[in-house]
A and B are shown apart, each in its own frame.
Chain A
């Protein structure tokens, strides 16, 4: 935090605060991440056995979205020093001086407490507690502790991004079932190959290196990162099929995901094999792009099955 504090000390207007626009505060919520959280949480709500009044489902989604936004704002508060030295993040509201660190902290805390209270009191207590844990995990475990400490930051920190469908599920059932754990595991296992594909891009890798963030390509090298990407992609294949065993999905999901999983592994294999030149960069970009679309399709398939009334498999366990 020291670097950004020094920069801000040189900018009297920023120290005074009150300079941020509504747009700046909206940017603190990381709206792109928030949209993914809303989508996966919505799938969690739809996939869960049981029913929830549509208004309460809306309230749950809203609280989860605001909770995710709070986590984003708190992340930008704490990471302002490294955001300032990375080209990709230098224009974020805090390093740009539009919002002071204390304003970002206050904004994030108010939203975090508010979203947890709303979900806990208006929907159910366990869902609220799980949302609180998610925000805590993202800020304290990932942002404050692991991100700057270990190249495994993404692996463990990925859990924070994997919780939203579980929170959505728990909003309906009031309990953490195997079906919700299956959805959690999909995002958890998907996160490392997705983000490491991004981290392998030369300019992104240089960004992390300059900021001193121990991302896997920076610490262990690009060859090891490519090997880990392939291993996690292979692991992701059976993990994606786990919801079939818990009775959460049916044939459409199963067949489509076998095909999608093969394509995912093929992209990961290309990243593993092609290591030099422009082709290697393109392979990484293709894996990153495909993995983003892959996650959307995997979760959208659950919605499609529910929408057309396809029956799910009988649960093997769960």
Chain B
């Protein structure tokens, strides 16, 4: 634990947290996209044109 909040260790921790956050956001985007496709199911193919 350091009293200098922006030392190299803090920046490394921040970078890892930011990376984890980015991965979670990408995973959420995939989750919503795939779920939308799954819930639409065959209705998309069956719709009248």
Contact = CB atoms under 8 A, between A and B. Distances in A.
A21 B34 contact: no
Nearest to A114: B28
B14 A18 contact: yes
Given A12-B3, A13-B2, A59-B31, A18 B10 contact: yes
A11 B1 contact: yes
B38 A55 contact: yes
A62 B30 CA distance: 13
A19 B38 contact: no
B35 A56 contact: yes
A97 B39 contact: no
Contacts of B5: 13, 16, 18
A33 to B, nearest CB: 20
Interface string A163-185: 00000000000000000000000
Interface in B1-49: 1-3, 5, 10, 13-14, 16-17, 20, 31-32, 34-35, 38-39
A14 to B, nearest CB: 7
A53 B38 contact: yes
Nearest to A98: B1
A12 B3 CA distance: 7
Q: Which of A14, A20, A22 has the most CB of B within 10 A?
A: A22
Contacts of B38: 53, 55-56
B1 A21 contact: no
A18 B17 CA distance: 9
Given A12-B3, A13-B2, A97-B1, A19 B13 contact: yes
B35 to A, nearest CB: 5
A107 to B, nearest CB: 11
Interface string A5-40: 000000111101011111001000000000000000
Given A13-B3, A18-B14, 15 more contacts: A13-B1, A13-B2, A13-B5, A16-B5, A18-B10, A18-B13, A19-B1, A21-B13, A21-B16, A22-B16, A25-B20, A55-B34, A55-B35, A59-B35, A118-B31
Interface of A: 11-14, 16, 18-22, 25, 53, 55-56, 59, 62, 97, 118, 122
